[in-house]
Amino acid sequence: MIISVTNLKGGVGKSTISQNLAVWFAHQGKRVCILDTDMEQRTSMRWAGLRGSTLPYIAVFGVESDQIIRTSAKQAEDYDIIIIDGTPQLGKTALATVMASDMVLVPITPSAFDMWSFENFLNRYQEVKEVKTAKDIPFKAYIILNKFTGKTNLDKNVLDVIQDFDMGVLETKIGDRVAYRECPITGLGVVEMKEKKSKAEIEQLGEEVLTKIKNLHS
């Protein structure tokens, strides 16, 4: 199963969600790898280098944009779950990331800038969806609300707006918590930390994504 976590905008939590999902799947006994497509930041590669040897192993590979489809297909021979940590680009990298994936997860934070960039991403997504539908390839995409509190008018407005997009919305919402900001500098996932609320969110997200995977091939 190849899952991409992507958006055209930076700062929406792609790497954080990629890493935490990878950790959750690894704790379920799955063989997991991350493909880090951000050539400049290499956030997931740096994070993996900080993981201790006593933790479940998660392989992370740096991948050039023109190698995403080929590399993800090759790694699918050795891993149960491949997570593509998508780079914030509109061009061929974004198209290749979506094309390579069985499932696309699109993090969005409650902001007008996210909504505007998401509309551009949606156009690209529709192109790939039409190709995969024509070839009868199972494929689904879902929005994940990230840094979401549910307490502001903007949070409530975003909930209304995303219902109009031609894409599913996951029930799990990820809060704006310190634990998520600590993950990249500790090499951990929140399910390996003590903070209970973030741990519960990722456990719920993992279970929901796993259910979607099962439904995709049923």
Residue pLDDT, tens place only, 121-143? 777 777 777 877 777 777 888 99
User: Does residue 155 or residue 38 have the better pLDDT?
Assistant: 38
What domains does the chain contain, in order, with CATH numbers? 2-216 (3.40.50.300)
Average pLDDT over residues 158-173: 81
- Cα–Cα distance for residue pair 84/63, rounded to 1 Å: 9
36-45, 133-142, 192-201, range with greatest mean pLDDT: 192-201
Average pLDDT over residues 145-161: 74
Residue 180 has pLDDT above 70, yes or no: yes
For the chain, the average pLDDT equals 86
Residue 46 has pLDDT above 60, yes or no: yes
Angle, helices 92-100 vs 68-75, to 10°: value is: 20
Residue 85 has pLDDT above 60, yes or no: yes
- Cα–Cα distance for residue pair 96/217, rounded to 1 Å: 22
- Cα–Cα distance for residue pair 135/138, rounded to 1 Å: 9
Please give the single-letter amino acid code of residue 31. R
